[in-house]
Amino acid sequence: MLNIIIAGPPGSGKGTQAKLMVEAFGFIHLSTGDMLRREIELGSPLGKEVESILARGDLVSDQIVISLISNNVNAHPRARGFLFDGFPRTLAQAQALDAFLEKTGHPLRMMILLDVDDSVCETRLLRRATLENRPDDTDALRVRHRLATYHSQTVPIIEHYKKQGKFVSVDSSKNPEYTFNQVSEWLKPIL
């Protein structure tokens, strides 16, 4: 089983690249954002709690996210591998993911960072808000808050995976095909 993290700031193209990677390599895509939005759509108690957290532009607690991830991984014991999108977002989540994957006998193989400037992300997010009716992307101030939160809480996991020799960075400022070609070059040796 091959476990990969796809990371990057909001608007870096994680969802787009994840779709391409699922099609090309057969991973199961685990997007915490999709899982949380599904809970909101269901109107579950968790969904209502998550909705208010996301409306502020804050991150959902580690406990909620780790529980969602472990339940989804355990539900697919024969998977070729998992593509973690939007998780981990904090060092504590990275450590919890590492411990969980070690217990499964299939540790994380690689963290792929989609590297792109905040200004490009902001433009993409505001455009996405209109195209996909995403309420978390509609306001420039909220988008900037999400980007600032990403930098303060998520960037430290880069060092965590660099120390393990599992970190790679690709340029995500151009079109999706360009980025996917870079991602594929990093994945081919471990597939």
Q: What is the pLDDT of residue 9?
A: 93
For the segment 72-111, what is each residue's pLDDT rounded down to a tens digit?
898 898 999 999 998 898 898 999 999 999 998 999 999 9
Sorted by sequence, the CB contacts under 8 Å of residue 128 that are 6+ apart come out as: 11, 134, 137
Q: What is the pLDDT of residue 166?
A: 97
What is the CATH number assigned to the segment(s) 2-183? 3.40.50.300
**Crossing angle of helices 32-42 and 62-74, rounded to 10°:** 100
Q: Checking phi first, is residue 170 left (phi over 0); if not, alpha (psi -120 to 50) or beta?
A: beta
Collapsed DSSP state (helix, strand, coil) of residue 86: coil
pLDDT grade for 158, boundaries at 50, 70 and 90:
very high
Identify whether the C-beta of residue 113 lies closer than 8 Å to the C-beta of residue 167. yes
Q: For residue 137, is pLDDT > 80? A: no
Q: For residue 174, is pLDDT > 90? A: yes
For the segment 15-48, what is each residue's pLDDT rounded down to a tens digit?
899 999 999 999 999 988 888 888 889 898 888 9
Q: For residue 4, is pLDDT > 90? A: yes
pLDDT grade for 12, boundaries at 50, 70 and 90:
very high
Q: For residue 185, is pLDDT > 80? A: yes
Q: What is the pLDDT of residue 64?
A: 85
The label of the residue with tokens 């989609």 reads 114
- pLDDT, mean over the chain: 90
**Crossing angle of helices 140-149 and 118-132, rounded to 10°:** 130
Number of H helices, E strands in the chain: 9, 5
Q: What is the pLDDT of residue 132?
A: 80
